[in-house]
Amino acid sequence: MREGFRLQGSGFRLVLVLVLVLDPFAQAQTIVLKSGQRVETKGVRRNGDMILGKIEVAGSAGEVGHALSAIAKIEFPEPQGLKNAADLLSQGQPEKALTEIAPVVAYYAPFREVPGAWWAPAAVIRVSALAALGRDVEAEPLAREIQKSATDPETARAANLRIASALLKKQEYERATQICDAAIKESTRPDVLADAWVTKGNVHLAQKEWDAALLAFLRVPVFYRDEKLFMPAALLGSARAYRRLDDIDRAKRSLKDLSAAFPKSAEAAIAQTEMQKM
């Protein structure tokens, strides 16, 4: 009998692993209604203005539907692809990050305006990867879409900062600065604040305001050292500001720190070129 149970358990685990490989989003998801009722499901899908949840009752499988207007939120487990893509971005691998985040963005797209869905955070990572690859034509409209649909103000701020980066490239410095200043004033999230200071530093660089640029960039290693995604850009920016201020020793030190700590980042490759200029 024990052997039989082991075989069944092994078979069950094999089926579970296959299901998760074939559909990484096949996990329990809870619909929380505005009435306070919680509906445990085996997965959800959207059909027009209805959210349909897979349920099992007395051994029989079926679906139960709830109007979108009656739903307070859906509790989705955090997708592993979200962390994987963020890690790849911080390692300077935006192409791989795009591949990793694509199925997450696609899966949550139908639920983008539903509280609890992971579409907006995943889309922010996609925008960041596109921006890192210089694909601003794709990044900017997606950032604006996030801004409109994000239910979390911090996610909206993160999207706004991607718009600020696009404005910087268009030399719309005042508008870019306003977005950065608003994020710095209102945000409590370290990654958003690090992004805002880096973007503001780049605005100051573009306007040849070297002292202000340096102070903005140095905020990141001093206050947000754990935000690895923004450290390479902060180190590169500070090196450029030091160089413009004729502090060549500190400029070289920043570039060396960048190359040593983040050798796979896009900024590290730029750092090698800038070192040769010095």
Report the C-alpha gap between 223 and 72 in whole angstroms.
Answer: 36
Beta carbons of 220 and 238 less than 8 angstroms apart: no
- Report the predicted TM-score, pTM, of the whole model to 2 decimal places: 0.70
Q: How far is CA 82 from CA 37, 40, 145, 152, in A?
A: 29, 23, 19, 17
CATH architecture observed for domain 180-265: Alpha Horseshoe (1.25)
DSSP states of 75-93 = EPPPPHHHHHHHHHHHTT-
Per-residue model confidence (pLDDT) at position 278: 76
Report the C-alpha gap between 237 and 257 in whole angstroms.
Answer: 12
State the fold for domain 25-76.
SH3 type barrels. (2.30.30)
Domains 25-76 and 180-265 share a fold: no
**Virtual torsion, Cα 196, 198, 200, 205, nearest 10 deg:** -170
The token pair at 13 is: 């685990």
Beta carbons of 126 and 158 less than 8 angstroms apart: no
Please give the average pLDDT of every successive group of 10 residues along the chain, which has 278 residues: 36 38 61 93 91 82 89 93 88 87 94 91 90 80 84 87 86 94 96 96 97 97 91 95 95 94 85 82
The CA radius of gyration of the chain, in Å to the nearest whole number, is: 23
Per-residue model confidence (pLDDT) at position 19: 38
Per-residue model confidence (pLDDT) at position 27: 65
Per-residue model confidence (pLDDT) at position 15: 37
Segments making up each domain of the chain, as ranges: 25-76, 78-151, 180-265
Beta carbons of 52 and 44 less than 8 angstroms apart: yes
The most distant pair of C-alpha atoms in the chain lies apart, rounded to whole Å, by 80
Report the C-alpha gap between 45 and 77 in whole angstroms.
Answer: 15
